[in-house]
Amino acid sequence: MSDTILHGYWRSSAAYRVRIALAFKGIAFAQVTHDLRAGDQHDPAYRAIAPHGLVPALEHDGRILIESPAILEWIEAKWPQPPLLPAAPDAAAKVRTIAALIGCDIHPLNNLRVLTRLRSQFDATNAQVKDWIAGWIGEGFGALEQLIARDGGAFAYGDTPTLADCYLVPQVYNAERYNIDLAAYPRIRAAADAARALPAFAAAHPDVQPDFS
């Protein structure tokens, strides 16, 4: 088995981000799946790895890392080539801004445990949950569209892939999965399409993962 092991789930946005980065860097890794729909993330054996009971977790040479932002920053520091962060501090901050907008402001409000709580504690219907998802994606994408218009090029930031694209592509996948109309966000769509055309991003797509179901 590879000395790099990714604990994840094929449809997890956060695990998708990490798969992209590892593939982009050319790092071989093994995958261990934890079916979020079945509640595998709550198993005590996995909680010993990731006490918060979320994916992904990354094991490498005896180290265990959790939380995708920290994992992605570690990957960039560990394997700096090819880079996913610009060298210039101002540019790197702008890339991290896009990543944070998605990773902090959009995705957490729409992850499985939040949607489950809406249904179980507040009796939200499927239509109400979909409206919740669409509302938060729409609010975030409205801001994101402006950031990409300001600093994007062929990709979310500039003309080479960055960590911003590692976050953007999974979030666009989620929006498409919920049939959210992206016509109002042409720059988001163009950046996502450019990234998804790259082999590393294609290899990380949920539909081609070994645990896809």
- pLDDT tens-digit map of 44-63: 999 999 999 999 999 999 99
pTM of this structure: 0.97
pLDDT for position 1: 52
Same domain, 48 and 32: yes
Tell me which of 63, 82, 101 is where a domain ends. 82
The domain that holds 36 is classified in CATH as 3.40.30.10
Same domain, 107 and 131: yes
Same domain, 105 and 194: yes
Same domain, 147 and 128: yes
pLDDT, tens digit (0-9, with 9 covering 90-100), for 91-109: 999 999 999 999 999 999 9
Same domain, 152 and 55: no
Burial of 138 (0-12, 13-18, 19+ CB in 10 A): middle
Any residues with CB less than 8 A from the CB of 21 and at least 6 apart, and which?
72, 75, 76, 84, 163, 166
205 part of a folded domain: no
Residue 129 clears pLDDT 60, i.e. is over it = yes
Q: What is the domain count for the chain? A: 2
Supply the range of the domain harboring residue 74: 4-82
59 part of a folded domain: yes
Same domain, 116 and 183: yes
